[in-house]
Structure 1
Amino acid sequence: MVAINPSAAAVDVNRNSLTVIDNRTGKVFNIPITNNSVPATAFKAMKTDNSEGRDEDESTRGIRVYDPSYQNTAVCRSSISYIDGDNGILRYRGYPIEELAEKSSFLEVAYLLIYGELPNKLQFDQFEHEVLHHTFVHTNASQLMKSFNYDAHPMGMFVSGIAALSTFHPEANPALVGSDLYTRDDRIMNKQIFRLLGKAPTIAAMSYRHRIGRRFNHPVENLGYAGNFLQMMDRLTESNYVPHPKLTKALDILFILHADHEINCSTAAMRHVSSSLVDPYSAVSSAAASLYGNLHGGANAAVIKMLEEIGTVDRVPDFIERVKAKETKLFGFGHRIYKSYDPRSKIIKKVAYEVFEICGREELIDVAVALEEASLKDDYFIKRRLYPNVDFFSGLIYKAMGFPTDFFPVLFAIPRVAGWLAHWREGLHDSSQKIWRPRQLYVGEGERVYVNMDDRADRTADGKQAKPLMETIRHQYNKRRAIANYDGKSKL
């Protein structure tokens, strides 16, 4: 882009503005700058005729801002979390993540994220009571969780279980009782917050127990949030079962670190879906489905797989060279936002060693440390500012605690429910927010005339026979069936 120095007369007297010259028309536009941002809708005023370009470019409707994957687009105003990626800073409502991890509890942090301030004793006691009294799910919801295939992925079960909760609370569905349900009565909103925070660990524990073929455990109130979750996962027939307090604390810290992280992929999904005023259970389910992806919630499982493939410390140098040659991928390093050390990674590394003292040293930690040290000394990684992120050590902790790798995304989803609900609540109270409807740049064909199928060419422009566009994999039940003959047998 070429910088243009317009005449003084064209410049807005307000320094907090952006002056744009549309070279197609010669018009000057002064756009206000607020919080170091400009409104994208201001560019709609920059119109021209269609003498250049196509009708589909819609030049008469103003300029659109093209930003694939939202690399530099702010879609909302938020007061929930702040990230300084260059300096490795993460704050919840202004509080450094390091202080919260050291001094707070997950439920206290959840209250902070959702309601904006740290609770006093009375507020926290009420909040904790409500959340822990909303941990039971309907019997039919339990039956649903039992109906999945024996090898169903726990995250798929979690997504489905959360979505199903909406059908058990029709009074909380705006589609049934009015679109202004949550803006007219905060008590109804609070009820769903308690339910989702309380039931998320229950649904998660059910997905784990089903996978290993054991009956579901009922929630208990006296063990706290993380302790109750561990009890639901691990208790057999013991009475007064109490998880190890240090493991409970470690999991609570991990929950704090994963509770929110600005407008990441799943949180954007939460805001996008909830902008339609759908019920929060469906919105949380959609956010969890986004978290299910390997590039988001599945990243720490990929780290474990990578470390297992490296195997031993002496193979780290060779792995580093293969990464630099782009022969393999490096997981757990780098971040879309952080260009410095992920502050959560430093805390998790400390927690990891505390867990190892209880559960035994995870053998892959030596490989992880060697990989971390080698990368931090290598110019290739230094120039690209690739530092360990939150996924690098969290997977090692979960593995040391005995969680299977396919359960890692569920452990990520449980605390992130708090962040999703915070953004849901904030979005509903933001009068500037409408239903999300991104625009596109249409680059397809212009208007075309319909051609009947019999008249369509079956050969390409160079005269070759056109190939089918669709290919798929077809599975036979067995070889006997494949060679059998019967009426209507497909030639495919």
Structure 2
Amino acid sequence: MSNQENEFAELKIGDKTYQLPVKTATIGHKVVDVSKLYALSGYCTFDPGFMSTASCTSKISYIDGDNGILRYRGYDIKDLAENIDFLECSYLLLNSELPNKAQYEEFAKKIARHSMVNEQLRHIFGAFRHSGHPMAILIGAIGCLAAFYHDGLNIRDKDQREIAAINIIAKIPTIAAMAYKYSIGEPFVYPKTNLSFTANFLNMMFSVPSEEYVPDPVVVDALDKIFILHADHEQNVSTSTVRIVGSSGADPFACISAGIASLWGPSHGGANEAVINMLREIKSPENIPHYINRAKDKNDTFRLMGFGHRVYKNYDPRAAVLKVTCKNVLERLNQKDNPLLLIATELERIALQDEYFITRKLYPNVDFYSGIIYQAIGIPSQMFTVLFAMARAVGWISQWKEMLEDEEQKLYRPRQLYKGYAMRPFKR
């Protein structure tokens, strides 16, 4: 029901009717506010997976899955990926506006200045197995940062929240590169303040003390685009995890570590690694029709990884950007004959022409193209989700800051539908 002043929904339970306020978004779906329903009626709503629940108010990113739209602070993702670099994108997510030249230079200097980590952190890596997954190491190392940078941190202070955000954006690439170097037995490489954010990360990943490494500008541009495209994505599971942990007042490094743990799942951030594993399973372009048929068989457990998306029911706008970027990288690195990339290219061609995939809108998504680009660059598949975490950390810390500044935000405490024993007598 509605009138000129307000709009509300009516919920009838027994002989009582409750009026629930309807909140209107700037763009997108309206929301029925049930926050006071339990206090008024004693009833809760039931929504497994929170698929119909808005857990917060946010101004950071917006998705229209039906129309293939993703926007950061109102800007279309394609415009951002093609016109700015990752640090400009980071500034935008943190501060709501794109930086001017002076603001960008100051922000970049802060990131570069804080990219070093405490030297004692080096010793923590020795506690991990060299064969350990880099995501496991990243979770532990980022969580450990709280032991180095927690003293005096007052998350209620705006300036200190800003310092925490800078530290997280700056140090995660360094720790990510350290995790990789540790896994292959090479010495850690210190960050260089004269390189861009992305070029610096590539240098820490691939350079060795015995010889000079010059990042390829095409590769830098491709990786920069991937980072921008992965920076934020509304209230996905890892972002919600960061907000849930942060709602308790936890240290921001602990919140980000929790987000990384959530991201690691193959249904979330691990999908691009799963793409490469799938291509390895297929082994040859000649085997693709067999696997296409398996994917169509509802009784077969095989799934085509990197196709379709839970939110996007149209072409993933991020994939549209990376498809062009992928072509440029493969040409630049002479990777057209790479066996896995040949399989991926043929798989994409067949799927885009197959009526089964077209009618179900199972288009290649961002994970499909990012995995191919990573493979071409020489980044091992175990590092794929680590790079995702590097990029998404910007969105996480922006969401964390927004949550702390939101007067409506409360400690997360979902209810449950209890189906266990009502009461049992105690017996031995």
5 Å-filtered alignment, 1:403-414, equals 403-414=379-390
- d(CA) in 1 for partners of 2:277, 2:258: 27
Map of 2:306 onto structure 1: 332
Work out whether residues 19 and 28 of structure 1, in 8 Å CA contact, stay in contact via their aligned partners in 2.
Answer: no
- d(CA) in 2 for partners of 1:239, 1:394: 28
Q: What is the CA-CA distance between 1:341 and the residue it aligns to?
A: 0.5
Work out whether residues 17 and 30 of structure 1, in 8 Å CA contact, stay in contact via their aligned partners in 2.
Answer: no
Query: 3-state SS of the aligned residue for 1:86?
Result: helix
5 Å-filtered alignment, 1:105-116, equals 105-116=85-96
Work out whether residues 172 and 279 of structure 1, in 8 Å CA contact, stay in contact via their aligned partners in 2.
Answer: no
Match of 2:71 among 73, 91, 112: 91
Query: 3-state SS of the aligned residue for 1:32?
Result: strand
Q: What is the CA-CA distance between 1:369 and the residue it aligns to?
A: 3.1
Opposite residue 400 of structure 1, the aligned amino acid is A
Query: 3-state SS of the aligned residue for 2:20?
Result: strand
Work out whether residues 217 and 232 of structure 1, in 8 Å CA contact, stay in contact via their aligned partners in 2.
Answer: yes
Deviations 1:276-308 (A, max 9, x none): 111100000000011111111110111111122
**TM-score where L is the length of structure 2:** 0.94
Opposite residue 266 of structure 1, the aligned amino acid is S
Work out whether residues 266 and 287 of structure 1, in 8 Å CA contact, stay in contact via their aligned partners in 2.
Answer: yes
Match of 1:439 among 415, 419, 428: 415
Opposite residue 268 of structure 1, the aligned amino acid is S
5 Å-filtered alignment, 1:260-275, equals 260-275=232-247
State whether structure 2 residue 346 is matched by structure 1 residue 351. Answer: no
Match of 1:307 among 262, 265, 279: 279
- d(CA) in 2 for partners of 1:247, 1:64: 51
The count of corresponding residues between Structure 1 and Structure 2 is: 419
Match of 2:362 among 375, 386, 394: 386
Higher relative CO (CA 8 A, sep ≥ 6), structure 1 or 2? Answer: 2
Identity %: 43
In structure 2, stretches of 5+ residues that fail to align are 25-29
**TM-score where L is the length of structure 1:** 0.82
State whether structure 2 residue 2 is matched by structure 1 residue 39. Answer: no
Match of 1:375 among 351, 371, 383: 351
Opposite residue 417 of structure 1, the aligned amino acid is A
What's the RMSD between the two structures over aligned residues?
1.7
Opposite residue 207 of structure 2, the aligned amino acid is R
In terms of mean alpha carbon deviation, does 248-257 or 27-36 score higher? 27-36
5 Å-filtered alignment, 1:73-472, equals 73-173=53-153, 181-183=154-156, 185-238=157-210, 241-326=213-298, 327=300, 328-361=302-335, 362-452=338-428
| Residues 12 and 85 of structure 1, relative CA distance in 2, 3 Å threshold | closer
Work out whether residues 206 and 213 of structure 2, in 8 Å CA contact, stay in contact via their aligned partners in 1.
Answer: no
- d(CA) in 1 for partners of 2:67, 2:11: 35
- d(CA) in 2 for partners of 1:418, 1:83: 18
Question: Whose radius of gyration is greater, 1 or 2?
Answer: 1
Map of 2:27 onto structure 1: none
Work out whether residues 12 and 30 of structure 1, in 8 Å CA contact, stay in contact via their aligned partners in 2.
Answer: no
Query: 3-state SS of the aligned residue for 2:18?
Result: strand
Map of 1:51 onto structure 2: none
- d(CA) in 2 for partners of 1:411, 1:12: 47
Q: What is the CA-CA distance between 1:414 and the residue it aligns to?
A: 0.6
Query: 3-state SS of the aligned residue for 1:41?
Result: coil
Opposite residue 389 of structure 2, the aligned amino acid is A
In structure 1, stretches of 5+ residues that fail to align are 1-10, 48-60, 174-180, 453-492
Deviations 1:189-211 (A, max 9, x none): 11111111111011001000000
Query: 3-state SS of the aligned residue for 2:63?
Result: strand
- d(CA) in 2 for partners of 1:21, 1:282: 40
Work out whether residues 297 and 412 of structure 1, in 8 Å CA contact, stay in contact via their aligned partners in 2.
Answer: yes
Q: What is the CA-CA distance between 1:137 and the residue it aligns to?
A: 0.8
| Residues 270 and 19 of structure 1, relative CA distance in 2, 3 Å threshold | closer
- d(CA) in 2 for partners of 1:230, 1:206: 12
Q: What is the CA-CA distance between 1:319 and the residue it aligns to?
A: 1.4
Match of 2:7 among 6, 14, 17: 17
Query: 3-state SS of the aligned residue for 1:171?
Result: coil
Opposite residue 200 of structure 2, the aligned amino acid is N
- d(CA) in 2 for partners of 1:415, 1:310: 29
